[in-house]
Structure 1
Amino acid sequence: MTHKPTAPRLPFRYLLPLFILCQCALFGLGGCKLPDEGAGKIGAIKKWGLSLDERIQSTPTVDQQGNIYVGSSDQHMYAISPSGQIKWKHKEKGITLSPSIAPNGDIVYTTGEGHLIVLSSKGDLRWKRQPRQKLAGCAPVITKSGVVLTSGDLVLVSYNLKDGKPHIVGKKLPLIQTCIYPGEGDNFYFGDNKKLYAWHISKGKQWEYPINTSFSGPTRDKQGNLYLGTFDARLVAISAKGKLLWQTQLAPIPTENPKDPSALFQPYVGPKGNIYAVRYNEGLYSFTPKGKKRWLLKQDLKPFASKLAIANDGMIYFGTNDHYVYAVTSEGKLHYRFLTKRRVLFGGALSPDQKTLYIGSFDHHLYALHAHKKSK
């Protein structure tokens, strides 16, 4: 009696890794090997680094599932899984700038060629328009009623998110020399280089406030109060109704050239109401909710980048011209810094669980860094 030969059976300890590898190849699951590209090694600070071919001139944004969306100078918008796998990429003409995520999951962004793009969360093109030769590099604003707002060539650009049709906001808007900044509901803010305006999609101008110099974009706190930095180094607080609450004037910076700029960039509000802002040529400032200086973290030889990401535990993350990503506690103490291979000029974004910081570098890489909690 003869027996048919049977294939040898692999022990279970070999089958499990093969199963995981197959799942990774097919679905890009989080159990896959993390990419290890760019500067540094995977360890206490770095989770992974992913090459996007060209320098990253965009601040990432993260959806509720933890997927990351970021633009690159290679003209692509990328969707990346939390484990660093590219899910899809979409190409349009021009440098791809910072995206926003709509309530329905659509990805909205502009390009360096003046295009306004809306993609589905799966990377399919919903619509695109080229309303101007140049659009603001900030992430577009999406209002409660579903209107997409940006600016370009001194005018407001507005479209319905659903179908891409133009949405007429009004004919009496002043010249717009800033990005568009989000307000509550259908309100938004912008500037004409001297005044800050509050506007409503259907009701028009709500108020204006004279700043009398160029200024940063405003940031809102939970009460609707606005904070902005000015070219002449003032921190200005304005109520939701357009009234001055207070302002803090910073002292001049000792310099060999009195004409060197000393602007205070866009402020950010921390979880306890403290305010943080980078001052050009000096460093990172912290202020109380009433505008009193708490501390100053002085920069090294090269300036800090102005865009901050603040975690729920108060940790502050930002890049620098000298290639580093900094993590600084709410008390102004350096927690860590991570060295990339080139400048880090755009901001970072935190994962929904606050455990990971995603930030891009001019060294062509998106980095996932541990967002450490403060030690007790």
Structure 2
Amino acid sequence: MRKLKILLLPLISVALLFSCETEDDDVVDMPAPSADFNITPIAPIEGEEILFYADPEENSGAIEKWHWEFGDPEGSTSDKRNPYFTYNAAGTYEVVLKVLNTSGTSMESSKRITVLPPPPDEFPANVAWEFTTNTEVGNINDGSSAPVIGDDGTIYYTESRAGSDSKVVAVIDKGESAELKWASNAIGAELPNAPSIGPDGNIYINAWNDDFAINKLNAADGALMWSGAINTDVSNNTPAIDSEGNVYHGSRAQSPNGGIYSWTSEGEKRWEITNVGAFYASPVISADESTVYFFNTDNGQIWAVNAEDGTQKWETPVGAGNGIYGTSLSVDADGTIYYTTKTQVVAITDEGETGAIKWEIEVDDASNSGVVIGPEGDLYVGSLGGLLSLNASDGSVNWTYDIEIAESVPAVDVNGNIYVGSTDGFLYIFNPDGGQIKALELGDNIVNSPTITEDGTVYVEASSNSIIKLFKITVEDSGPADSPWPMKGQNIKNTGVAQQ
């Protein structure tokens, strides 16, 4: 089992109490002792041995004695500097460390730690079936691909490969097995993008092709209904779709045609902004559907565009720079926009006539993931440096779990559990405190973004021996988190529309 990379962050502020006891004038000027402590593991459970370890603080005087009070009903103590202790019951305990120097000067520091009840013997998540058309793709599904679910329960996913043999696949869930509805290569182009579903139930997907940049497929049989040409191609985009069926997406290339586009549900181009760079990112739509946010991956900045006519809402795009392809944008309940790059996670505030950076933090390549929101408001994002839990107010890191994540946007369920695919073929499930509660081996390469349905079923794509497979995972007493953005694209149709 892997371990959390960081140690305890205090649950409350540390109280420091000083007292001085001296017997003669010769020791009055001796520096007072000062120490702080942490524990590992960060989220202990009852019956688990905990290491308490202490270090002198900067400018501390020499420490002669260490004394711990663990706050349990038995009044347990220790005089070791770094003791081990086990709590036999879950609960919150106040731990006090007292340090003394040779003159009798003492200091106390205290912290509350929370001991969790033991997890169930087996988290109720199991693979019900796997399905594949056995098409060899030679590469992973990129664009943080995620399955989308129609109103009748049909699951649609992509098998993306170089050349003209990429497919959109429709699958019927038969409970304990899956049945092919159709597999369409009607577009005849590479599909390094995730699909979305419009209000009429049909499928939209971008393609790496100048003449088939945006496409609409009939959900009934996979037939091509229309294609839109932009004289350049599209990658790492999931089309955003508003309640009227209008479609929004960016382009891949940095050519004169590189930019952002909108289409009607019938395939008529509504507006475009071109010769402005590449947009390797999935756009999002504000809750009132008046604004579309795009991420320009040339300059690492967010564009706010009026959905109706394509005029820029902000004359100056806003962002922290260092753009890189692959991010899936998301929006919080207060309108904060989140995006990821190779070096950052960034929060942007829409202030009406302009935008502003709310906060930014450094990460180890979260560019091919995106930010999702748990039921208590915490943020989760995948990166090559691990799964991160962030505080939404300032971006501070709550915890990090050491797995490598690429091409997977996490998803959060109603109980606050986080699902995310790794680069080693596993779908991992974590509790809100960062403890791993399940690891399902699905393949030998990248596992893409999971989608959680109302009954808690999880659908996810994974690669094994260059074959893309779709998995159904049943989870008891679950469903998507009641939050503004619980999964990629906000919902099971990947429409990218924010919630009020």
Helix, strand or coil at the partner of 1:296: strand
* 1:92-129 Cα deviation digits (max 9, x unpaired): 31233311000111110123334222122212432123
More displaced, 186-195 or 270-279? Answer: 186-195
On the 8 A contact 1:158/1:169 being kept in 2, the answer is yes
Q: Which residue of 2 aligns with 1:357?
A: 458
- What is the aligned partner in structure 2 of residue 35 from structure 1? none
Partner SS for 2:451: strand
Q: Which residue of structure 2 lines up, in the alignment, with residue 238 of structure 1?
A: 349
With normalisation by structure 2, the TM-score equals 0.58
* 2:308 counterpart of 1:210: no
Q: Distance in 1 between matches of 2:157 and 2:351?
A: 32
- After TM superposition, give the deviation of residue 200 of structure 1 in Å: 1.0
Root-mean-square deviation (CA), in Å? 2.6
Give 1:86's aligned residue.
180
Are 2:198 and 1:102 aligned? yes
1:190: Cα distance to partner?
A: 1.6
Note if contact 2:125-2:475 (Cα within 8 Å) is conserved in structure 1.
no
Structure-1 residue corresponding to 2:133? 52
Change in 2 beyond 3 A, CA 1:372/1:286: farther
Which string of whole-angstrom CA distances, capped at 9 and with x for unpartnered residues, describes residues 229-281 of structure 1?
Answer: 34333443424645446314348xxxxxxxxx64565221122211011232x
* Conserved 8 A contact 1:180-1:189: no
Partners of 2:340 and 2:439 lie apart in 1 by 26
Equivalence map 1:3-42=2 (5 Å): none
Letter of the structure 2 residue corresponding to residue 158 of structure 1: S
* Separation of aligned partners in 2, 1:158 and 1:235: 25
| Structure 1 residue corresponding to 2:382, chosen from 243, 261, 278 | 278
Q: Against the structure 1 CA distance between its residues 248 and 119, is the aligned structure 2 distance closer, same or farther, given a 3 Å change threshold?
A: closer
Gap change, CA 1:170 and 1:306, over 3 Å in 2: closer
Task: Give distance in 2, aligned partners of 1:248 and 1:158.
Answer: 29
Q: Tell me: CA distance 1:111–1:104, structure 2 relative to 1, closer, same or farther (3 Å).
A: same
**Distance in structure 2 (CA, Å) of the matches to 1:71 and 1:120:** 15
Name which of structure 1's ranges 230-239 and 91-100 shifts more when overlaid on structure 2. 230-239
Q: What CA distance in whole angstroms lies between the structure 2 residues aligned with 1:112 and 1:203?
A: 23
Equivalent residues of 1:343, 1:362 under 8 A apart: yes
Distance in 1 separating the partners of 2:358 and 2:470 = 39
Deviation digits for residues 273-296 of structure 1 (CA, Å, limit 9, x no counterpart): 11011232x201101221232111
Deviation string, structure 1 residues 124-183 (Cα, Å, up to 9, x no partner)? 432123433421232112234432222223222332212x12222457x73343334121
* Deviation for aligned residue 1:87: 1.5
Residue 100 of structure 1 contacts residue 108 of structure 1 at CA under 8 Å; is this kept in 2?
A: yes
How far off is 1:64 after superposition? Answer: 2.9
Code of the residue aligned with 2:463 in structure 1: it is F
Q: Equivalents in 2 of 1:345, 1:315: separation in Å? A: 18
Of residues 397, 404, 407, the one that matches 1:293 is 397
Match for 2:148: what amino acid?
T
CA distance in 2, matches of 1:310, 1:357: 11
Alignment check: 8 A CA contact 1:149 1:180 kept: no
Q: Is the 8 A contact 2:408 2:450 kept in 1?
A: no
Q: Which runs of 5+ in 2 are unaligned?
A: 1-123, 479-500
- Equivalent residues of 2:420, 2:429 under 8 A apart: yes
Please name the residue that 1:10 is paired with: none
Percent identity between matched residues is 19
1:159 to 244, 247, 263: 263
Q: Which has the larger radius of gyration?
A: 2
Residues in 1 aligned to 2:233 and 2:272: alpha-carbon distance in whole angstroms: 20
Matches within 5 A, 1:88-167: 88-91=182-185, 92-96=187-191, 97-114=193-210, 115=212, 116-123=214-221, 124-152=223-251, 153=253, 154-162=258-266, 164-167=267-270
Within a 5 Å distance, the mapping from 1:248-263 to structure 2 comes to 248-250=360-362, 262-263=365-366
Q: Which range moves more in the overlay, 264-273 or 83-92?
A: 264-273
Asked if the contact 2:250–2:283 (Cα under 8 Å) also holds between the matched residues in 1, the reply is no
Aligned residues of 1:248 and 1:292 also touching (Cα < 8 A)? no
| Residue number in structure 2 paired with 1:61 | 148
Q: Judging changes above 3 Å, is the alpha-carbon distance between structure 1 residues 183 and 371 closer, same or farther for their aligned structure 2 residues?
A: same
- Structure 1, gaps ≥5 residues long: 1-42, 252-260
Give yes or no for contact 1:229–1:236 (8 Å, CA) kept in 2. no
